[in-house]
Amino acid sequence: MMTRRDLLACTGVLFSGWAAPRCEAAEIRAIGCQLMAPVDRLGLGAESVVPILQADQRLITSSGNADLDHYLGRALVRLAGQFEIYPGFGFYDDSNHNNALAVRETKIPGTEGTVIFGVHLFRNALHDPHDQGVAVIAVCAHEFGHIFQYNSGYYDKLTTGVGAHTVKLIELHADYLAGYYLAGRKAAYPDLDLQGAGALFDRLGDTQFNDPTHHGTSAQRVAAIEAGFKFGRHSEQPIKPAAANGAEFVLEQFS
């Protein structure tokens, strides 16, 4: 049975003096859906999506900053517990297309699926000293939401029928789950400033309605994360009821 420490065994993260082993870099082949970078907010240039990463790109086991790895590792453990999933996690060189993504493929033995964060997006997302890392956590929560979708059947449910020509519904559902998760962090830390996360999802919206990668408009993405936050603030229910309520919400509001 995999422990939560095992979850991050290949990220080079430190926990209370315990050093996670360094692993061989795993080859990346991205499939499934991914999150567009909040480039307007982060000053990264034009928004872009990376449907398929280059076959020779490999997982990077550290952000390059041991302190950041430590705090990110703690956050990933909390995310895994809340979402009841145990994906692998790593970084990749996103110098061409700043991005983060979730894939079905297991790149780290003993985990299920993989969340991959672009190193450049990660570093740029930390530029705001007042954000307290909330933007990074919001992106991670969105991607963990995708892994949950893969494992629970929501991915298939939300990519069939009305609106199936784009990824909009699964993206908005992942936004809802990110809001649900942030509500729990806000409850634990009432002074936590979530404005940066709201601005991030507002920037992520697009109006390319017929593009298969259409993720939803700015208003839709903000509405989804706010609905998830509201559910999380007024309910201590676990992830499964939140996901069910989120699916009902996006199907009723946006299909």
- pLDDT single digits (tens) 140-159: 999 999 999 999 999 988 98
Question: What are 139's two structure tokens?
Answer: 């992106």
Q: Residue 143: name the closest of 191, 195, 103 by CA.
A: 103
Whose structure tokens read 């422990």?
3
DSSP string, 141-202: HHHHHHHHHHHHTHHHHTTSSTTTTSSHHHHHHHHHHHHHHHHHHHHH-TT---HHHHHHHH
Q: Residue 91: name the closest of 66, 57, 124 by CA.
A: 57
How many angstroms separate the CA atoms of 81 and 77, rounded? 6
Residue 207 has pLDDT above 80, yes or no: no
- Residue 111 · residue 90 · CB < 8 Å: no
Q: Which residue has the higher pLDDT, 180 or 64?
A: 180
**214-220 average pLDDT score:** 82
Helix or strand holding residue 129 (H, E): none
Which range is least confidently modeled, 20-29, 63-72, 142-151, 164-173? Answer: 20-29
How many angstroms separate the CA atoms of 65 and 50, rounded? 25
Q: Which residue has the higher pLDDT, 29 or 181?
A: 181
How many angstroms separate the CA atoms of 48 and 239, rounded? 30
Q: How many other β-carbons are positioned within 10 Å of the β-carbon of residue 64?
A: 12
**150-177 average pLDDT score:** 86
99 forms beta bridges with 36
**Which pLDDT value is given to residue 17?**
26
**Which pLDDT value is given to residue 215?**
75
**10-15 average pLDDT score:** 30
Question: Which pLDDT tens digit goes with each residue over 102-153?
Answer: 988 888 888 999 999 988 888 877 776 667 788 889 999 999 999 999 999 9
Which range is least confidently modeled, 21-30, 51-60, 166-175? Answer: 21-30
Q: Which residue has the higher pLDDT, 115 or 13?
A: 115
Predicted model pTM: 0.78
DSSP string, 74-119: HHHHHHHHHHT---EEEEE--SSS-EEEEESS--STTSSSEEEEEH
**Which pLDDT value is given to residue 208?**
66
| Mean pLDDT of the residues in the chain | 75
Q: Residue 108: name the closest of 20, 51, 27, 31 by CA.
A: 27
